[in-house]
Structure 1
Amino acid sequence: MFRWAFHRWEEAIHNRSTDRLVREFDWGLEWLHDLPHTPDAPDTDHPVASPAATLQAYAAWAVDHSDQFFASTDAPGYDLDRHGHLQFPSEIVTPHAENNIVHARLYRAREDRGRAVVVLPQWNSDADGHVGLCKLFNRVGLTALRLSKPYHDWRKPPELLRADYIVSSNVGRTLQVCRQAVLDARRAVGFLHAQGYSSIGICGTSLGSCLSMLTAAHEPRIKAAALNHISPYFADVVWEGLSTRHVRQGLDGHVDVDTLRRIWAPISPQPYLERVRHLRTLLVYAQYDLTFPLRLSKSFVQEFRDRGIPHQLAVLPCGHYSTGKAPFKFLDGYWLTKFLARAL
């Protein structure tokens, strides 16, 4: 009965948005031209195989050489104004000038003890998303840096109503833009480190959770990760999730989920589980989630248990969208804040 009620609520919240577009399928090989190349990497500039085979070969290389795939340097300069609005250049140059400048908002704790958290909100979050969470972190002595993901809010070109270019039926673009998000997050960590913060964590929700896991797995300056809504595979969430039904429509008939899982493996948490063994990690999932289906969240938690990877677990008695509604948002915020305050 509870499941039925929450699932109906989730569907109702989802259906309030009428601006979702089913975009044409594209392998997006041109987006791979700016991906890292080494002598042992597949030649994506002059592929000899089919687009699917080329992408799978590159993805396999990227997983095996993820330190190169997610290699990052701190930004050459950071521009922080008196209102706490931070800007710096993205490490990746895309065809959209707006997207090539990273925006973030800094919320300093009143009692600053050198502890800070990079905050990555959910997919399609507006500029005010997770500001309340940042202020809650401030109350327990954590400075928060709220990061705008690629193609979101300030970084969205005029042609977009939603942040479609970070998750879409353009397969190569999705791979590249999610990689860009990780490199941006690493540069955000670099800013905090340069500001004197020695104990740095990361907190992400939904898509932000996936990107936070990838960042934490490759950024040695991160000590703790709070992952809010979880799945082992990027492709499976897109294929099965409520929020990505329109993306699935664009993919159907062009690629199957097994192929997509291999192509998007570099931007999936599963391959990098062993890389977070040293971290303090919180896993959060929602009991009635239709966007991150429950079986995927449970399988991810089971992977942590089977491998003996240290973690804490919290289960929300709600769905994905309803996590943002009272009283569940207060419960979620409490768990995230309590964990990070102790872990850092």
Structure 2
Amino acid sequence: KVTESRSFDKALVVFHHWNASARYQQLANFFSRRGITVVEMALPYHFERSRPGADYADYMLSPNLGRTMQSMRQAVWDGRKLIRWLREQGFKEISVLGMSLGSWVAGLIAANDKTVSKAALFLTAGSLADMVWTGRATRTICESIKPAIELDDLRRAWGPLNLVNHAHHLARDNLELNVVLAKRDKVVLPELSERLIQGLKDAGAEPSILELNCGHYSLSMPPYIVSAGRSVARLLKPDP
């Protein structure tokens, strides 16, 4: 879904959260009024890409380790193809923004696509394995995995999805990072986010970090989402 602006210089590609039921229209309008075209990509098994008969995006993130890897890989490929298309349309600066699970997709794209100049990661962490193992929203997945695999094995299986393992690429000179976290997050625990921040700093990155006194889901409500949106607006403003 494309929300156009008057300018065709900047584009922001947005990756939504797992099981999203609606697009981020207010966010899209906020940035389009500021001269940034917003492109919201449906992740695999969401919106128009939903699996027939499925009540939620059970193939995007599931106890099936290989299918989850395949779905995340598909999301990254799709995002990179979309970025190439935006370049062909004439956009000069392309940034990415990811929410929760979408932040892993946005982070992986930013790490591996040097045409991305700015990345905003909301409610993110490094290890997807640890997030699934400890998060409230993924409790059912964790209960299905635990009888068959230990956490260390899950970390190895999903190692390519761990943003800490891509920290060196995320720390490149031509990439600016903005991270927005919730201090009372029960889905992506704050200690997991802290590991990612430390990994980025160890690699030489200097991310802009905004920690809000809210939970995972309340970030989407005022006044928290206003603060988060303003932090991204500062990230995307023209360089002096």
Q: Taking structure 1 as the reference length, what is the TM-score of the superposition? A: 0.67
Q: Give the whole-Å Cα distance in 1 for the aligned partners of 2:201 and 2:160.
A: 22
2:105 is equivalent to residue 211 of structure 1: yes
Unpaired stretches in structure 2, ≥5 consecutive residues: none
Unpaired stretches in structure 1, ≥5 consecutive residues: 1-104
- The equivalent residue for 2:131 is 237
Q: Quick one: which amino acid aligns to residue 304 of structure 1?
A: L
- The equivalent residue for 1:253 is 147
> Aligned in 2, Cα 1:328/1:237: closer, same or farther, shift over 3 Å?
same
2:91 to 189, 194, 197: 197
1:124 to 7, 15, 19: 19
* 1:117 Cα deviation after fit: 0.8
Asked if the contact 2:171/2:203 (under 8 Å) is kept, the reply is: no
> Aligned in 2, Cα 1:115/1:245: closer, same or farther, shift over 3 Å?
same
Question: SS state of the match for residue 201, structure 2?
Answer: helix
- Report the RMSD for the aligned CA atoms in angstroms: 1.4
* 1:191 Cα deviation after fit: 1.4
> Aligned in 2, Cα 1:113/1:168: closer, same or farther, shift over 3 Å?
same
2:187 to 291, 297, 303: 291
Q: Give the whole-Å Cα distance in 2 for the aligned partners of 1:343 and 1:306.
A: 26
Q: Quick one: which amino acid aligns to residue 299 of structure 1?
A: R
- Which runs of at least 4 in structure 1 moved beyond 3 Å after TM superposition? none
* 1:172 Cα deviation after fit: 0.5
Q: Give the whole-Å Cα distance in 1 for the aligned partners of 2:228 and 2:162.
A: 23
* 1:144 Cα deviation after fit: 0.7
2:228 to 308, 329, 332: 332
> Aligned in 2, Cα 1:343/1:217: closer, same or farther, shift over 3 Å?
farther
Asked if the contact 1:131/1:146 (under 8 Å) is kept, the reply is: no
- The equivalent residue for 1:156 is 50
Q: Give the whole-Å Cα distance in 2 for the aligned partners of 1:197 and 1:342.
A: 14
Asked if the contact 1:120/1:146 (under 8 Å) is kept, the reply is: yes
The number of equivalent residue pairs is: 238
For 1:1-344, what aligned pairs fall within 5 Å after superposition?
105-110=1-6, 112-126=7-21, 128-278=22-172, 279-342=175-238
Q: Give the whole-Å Cα distance in 2 for the aligned partners of 1:203 and 1:283.
A: 10
> Aligned in 2, Cα 1:137/1:319: closer, same or farther, shift over 3 Å?
same
Question: SS state of the match for residue 179, structure 2?
Answer: strand
Q: Give the whole-Å Cα distance in 2 for the aligned partners of 1:196 and 1:303.
A: 34
Q: Give the whole-Å Cα distance in 2 for the aligned partners of 1:299 and 1:275.
A: 16
Question: SS state of the match for residue 79, structure 2?
Answer: helix
Larger CA Rg, structure 1 vs 2: 1
* 1:207 Cα deviation after fit: 0.4
* 1:113 Cα deviation after fit: 4.4
Q: Give the whole-Å Cα distance in 2 for the aligned partners of 1:113 and 1:106.
A: 12
Q: Quick one: which amino acid aligns to residue 235 of structure 2?
A: F
* 1:199 Cα deviation after fit: 0.6
Asked if the contact 2:118/2:235 (under 8 Å) is kept, the reply is: no
Q: Which deviations, in whole Å up to 9, do the C-alpha atoms of 1:85-141 show, x marking residues without a partner?
A: xxxxxxxxxxxxxxxxxxxx111112x041111100111112x32121111111111
Q: Give the whole-Å Cα distance in 2 for the aligned partners of 1:205 and 1:275.
A: 20
Identity of aligned residues (%): 32
Asked if the contact 1:280/1:343 (under 8 Å) is kept, the reply is: no
Q: Give the whole-Å Cα distance in 1 for the aligned partners of 2:237 and 2:132.
A: 32
Q: Quick one: which amino acid aligns to residue 339 of structure 1?
A: L
* 1:342 Cα deviation after fit: 4.3
